[in-house]
């Protein structure tokens, strides 16, 4: 009596490995395309905000959020569709404020002026804008934030380290610890710990990225 052994041949194993390799390659390529699309959307946020500021300034000779004559400029019939700023030439407040500051009011002014889409109702849950990864997006006056120089800063939060690298390469010098765009880690107290040689960027950690307009 002859016995017959069952099992996979080398050819069958090779075919299976080839299929697995193709599937893995497709998944990795798909993730790469998704990440690339997110970086493009994040970069567009940083490019578009200066346009909003300059357009508002050109029309009304004031900064959005700080405009002391905002009701005259934006409210038909002189009603109280918005709150005016103090007109000190600065966008006061923090980029992630949730009320009662120039930074928070910025979005209402640019939307009422027709320069940006979105709700101008500050009580609307969707009033505060979000970036492509679900983090907050905002502006504030320049200063000591992450050591970036400039009169106005744009900040965007919740960005994974691997996307921070691509974003900085697309818009600045490729180093998130230097230049006009920098990354920081929220320490839970409202301040940001900047990326540096002693605090290197981690691909799996989420950061807030700020840039000078």
Helix or strand or coil: residue 117?
A: coil
Report the distance separating Cα 110 and Cα 74, nearest Å. Answer: 9
Distances (CA, A) of 53 to 1, 59, 99, 111, 186: 89, 10, 20, 12, 26
- pLDDT-derived band at 4 (thresholds 50, 70, 90) equals low
CATH assignment at residue 157: 3.30.1690
At residue 8 the predicted structure's pLDDT band, cuts being 50, 70 and 90, is low
Residue 2 in any domain: the answer is no
Determine the pLDDT at residue 11.
73
Structurally, the chain folds into a number of domains equal to 1
Q: Which helix (DSSP H) or strand (DSSP E) does residue 156 occupy?
A: strand 152-160
Work out the burial of residue 170: count CB atoms within 10 Å of its CB; fewer than 13 is exposed, 13-18 middle, 19 or more buried: middle
Determine phi and psi for 212, rounding to 5 degrees: -80, 135
Tell whether 15 is covered by a domain.
Answer: no
For residue 212, name the pLDDT band (cuts at 50, 70, 90).
Answer: very high
- Smallest CA-to-CA distance from 146 within 115, 187, 107, 112 is with 187
Confidence of residue 195 (pLDDT cuts 50, 70, 90): very high
The model's pLDDT over 18-71, given as tens digits with 9 standing for 90+, comes to 778 777 776 655 667 778 889 999 999 999 999 999 999 999 999 999 999 999
Residue 142: inside a domain, yes or no? yes
Average of per-residue pLDDT values in the chain: 89
Question: What's the pTM value of the predicted model, to 2 decimals?
Answer: 0.83
**Model confidence over 126-156: pLDDT tens digits?**
999 999 999 999 999 988 789 998 899 999 9
Structural domain contains residue 3:
no
183, part of any domain? yes
What domain range is 75 assigned to? 36-212
DSSP 106: H
User: Quick check: is 173 in a domain?
Assistant: yes
> Is 12 part of any domain?
no
Whether residue 177 lies inside any domain: the answer is: yes
CA angle, corner 54, sides to 179 and 168, nearest 5?
Answer: 25
* DSSP reduced 3-state for 166: helix
């Amino acid at each position: 009596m002859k016995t017959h052994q069952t099992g996979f041949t080398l050819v069958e194993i090779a075919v299976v490995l080839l299929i697995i390799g193709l599937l893995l390659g497709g998944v990795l390529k798909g993730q790469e395309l998704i990440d690339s699309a997110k970086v493009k959307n994040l970069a567009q946020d940083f490019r578009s905000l200066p346009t909003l500021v300059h357009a508002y300034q050109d029309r009304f000779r004031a900064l959005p959020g700080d405009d002391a004559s905002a009701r005259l400029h934006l409210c038909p019939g002189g009603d109280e569709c918005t709150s005016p700023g103090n007109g000190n030439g600065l966008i006061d407040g923090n980029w992630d404020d949730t009320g009662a500051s120039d930074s928070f009011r910025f979005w209402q002014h640019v939307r009422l002026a027709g320069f940006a889409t979105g709700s101008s109702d500050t009580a609307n849950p969707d009033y505060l804008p979000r970036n492509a990864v679900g983090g907050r997006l905002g502006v504030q006056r320049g200063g000591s934030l992450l050591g970036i120089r400039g009169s106005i800063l744009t900040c965007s939060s919740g960005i994974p380290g691997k996307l921070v690298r691509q974003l900085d390469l697309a818009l600045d010098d490729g180093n998130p610890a230097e230049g006009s765009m920098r990354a920081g880690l929220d320490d839970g107290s409202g301040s940001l710990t900047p990326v540096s040689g002693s605090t290197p960027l981690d691909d799996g950690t989420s950061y807030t990225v700020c840039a000078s307009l």
